[in-house]
Structure 1
């Protein structure tokens, strides 16, 4: 984990935070850093997450002599004897925190997207390199299309393949078998005998109990 990520709890920001605007955005800012910073952003029409992350310095407006800022300056700054204003450290830290946590959330989502793309590429490459996987993928795709068209293709073969693929990644003591496979196993044992049953069970791993 990145060292910066340890300093901030990114879970306070929802995954769709970059779509926030208007009241929804200001409510988030209010919750995280308080009403004074909300007012600083509002008066500059910084009314969305996207607008905020594209703002280099939301406090630079205090360098200007604007009458509309007088009330906000009184709450957010100290007035020096020479008439200059110095921003309160709490306001500066609040904006730094807000900027950092939103940018870290952005980096996290970008890294997740890259990771998902890498996984998709690996899966695509894996499927193309293995004829069995490629055939299974095509078969499952066909099954889903037929189910979407209202055609019930739930057969013993699909149950058996599902059972095998679900069991293969597990240790043998965690193998599980659906009812259809269990009934088939009983029939096979009765009709084929113990030797036939054991031969099939040992050679098709994960297929039979």
Structure 2
């Protein structure tokens, strides 16, 4: 909008200047004169009008510095024009010098800004290298501790070879506890690395994605948002989690049972969720299966038929609703 207004003003000024020059040319042609036969007074008036159109502030500044508005005689007018011709080059030279100083100052500021930006980039690179080095050191320390724990367990097994099984169970519990501690430390290192990265560089590994899905399923939306906001950048957003769940084979569809999952997952815990059956029947189109859900599904040998109301054409949809 601003550029369009500036363009219109430029065109209007150009039209006004062309009109001033054409008026004087017509006046010259009307009097059977040529441009080289212009008198000094006529040429001065033409230049004054052009300056008034192009830069009225400059003309007003000149008049305020050299003349009073009370004396407007012909001699004063001629004297004013002569002084104006002498004053204008000096004024333009001063303006050029000021503009050169401003441009030089802007260039110095730009150079200083480039130096500061480069210093910040170098500092960020050093910080990132230090963060990358810390997980390696922690991993080496955890590996050494795990080896020490294994050596201690071997020594304890030799010393307690003749002891009963409850003590062996206690050793197994300690081993499980240490393995859990190692996994927790590895996850913490991974989360810390994600926090240190820029939001545009977030890349989540498969264990982090699986952890995010489990946290959302078991904890719910509020728990997930609480963890994500307090550990910024450590886990994906809710939209990403929903996309992961949607693209997995664990999504539920109407009249479809996942009995094969019982053989794949050997869980020792049972989970139940809130009943989401609608009180009022609502027919919806499921794009993933290209079928309508919400109708009363027919029964075949005691089991409902999956994707029974599949619609490939508009006539199929009309038949289903009729």
- Common fold by TM > 0.5: no
TM-score, scaled to structure 1: 0.29
The higher-RCO structure (CA 8 Å, 6+ apart) is: 1
